[in-house]
Structure 1
Amino acid sequence: MYVSTFHDVVEWTRALHEHLARCLQHCSTQQDEERAKWLLEYLADHEAALEKVVAGFERQADPKALNTWLYDYISYKPIKPHQSCSATYAEMSFDEICQEIFDLHNQVIDFYRYLEGRTEIPATRELIGELLKLEQHEAMHLVHQTNRARDL
């Protein structure tokens, strides 16, 4: 997906979470390790819920902010998760899945920080700031929940 406006950023993020939810759910049906299977199901549900929350940003955000062009974006390389789910999560251990998902969320957070630092219009800075807070909160929530599962 080519990202040129803040609307594209929101749509890209929504699509990323949607894709990840589908992939994790698909891989959970092929995972042999019980704890990793549970983790994949949990993460799939979490990503699906996050996709819905991000979609809400598209409906509620200021249209002027959404339609603002990204001028300094060209130098940033966005995250490109595998385009088709090749069942790689089905072959990973619990800890490997956690690391992969945490890394992906951290890349999204870094992307939002990058955009927030280069946004001069208050409405777009607020939009990116809200998305950044959401991603940070959800990443912390995932770390907390997976650490609890690891302790079991």
Structure 2
Amino acid sequence: MEIKTFRELIDWTRDLHQHLSDCLAHCSGEHKQERAQALLQYLADHESELANIVAEFEHQGNHKAMETRVYDYLNHHPLETHRTCSLPYAEMSFEQISHEVFDFHDQIMDLYKTLVSKADIPEAQDLLQALLTMEEHEAMRLARQIGRMDDV
């Protein structure tokens, strides 16, 4: 997908979270370890929730910011989205699954950080900062929950 505006960036991000959710949910039923199955299902639910949260940004975002053109950052530093389903989550360990999901979120946060620093108008900068803050808070929440699961 070619991303030209912040609206398209939000759509793309939402789709990434939903795709990851679908993949994790599919793999949860196929994993042999109960603990990893629980993690995969929790992560699938979390990613689906994130897809819904990101979609709300499109509905509530400033129109001027939503139609602002995005720098060509994605052409030079694309996210490794192929990893969201090409690796067999059903065969990965609890730790490997966690690592992959956190790496996915780190890439999205790095993208938002870069775009915040390049935003030309305050409305776009505010939108990107809000998306970044949401991703950071959700990553922290995810880390706490996975830490609790790891303690069990």
The answer, yes or no, to whether TM exceeds 0.5 is: yes
User: Once structures 1 and 2 are overlaid, which stretch shifts more, 26-35 or 79-88?
Assistant: 79-88
Aligned length: 152
RMSD (CA atoms): 1.6
CA contact (8 A) 1:24 1:40 kept: yes
* Structure 1 consecutive aligned stretches of length 4 or more whose deviation exceeds 2 Å: 71-76, 82-87
What TM-score results when the alignment is normalised by the length of structure 1? 0.94
Q: Taking structure 1 as reference, are residues 27 and 96 closer, same or farther at Cα in structure 2, changes over 3 Å only?
A: same
Separation (CA, whole Å) in 1 of partners of 2:148 and 2:41: 16
Deviations 1:10-52 (A, max 9, x none): 1111000000010000000111111000000000000001100
- What letter matches 1:10 in structure 2? I
Of all paired residues, the percent bearing the same amino acid is 47
Which blocks of at least 5 consecutive residues in structure 2 are unaligned? none
Separation (CA, whole Å) in 1 of partners of 2:76 and 2:113: 11
Answering whether residue 136 of structure 2 is matched by residue 141 of structure 1, we say no
CA contact (8 A) 2:71 2:115 kept: no
What TM-score results when the alignment is normalised by the length of structure 2? 0.94
Which blocks of at least 5 consecutive residues in structure 1 are unaligned? none
Answering whether residue 120 of structure 2 is matched by residue 120 of structure 1, we say yes
CA contact (8 A) 2:5 2:67 kept: yes
SS of match in other structure, 1:31: coil
CA contact (8 A) 1:27 1:87 kept: no
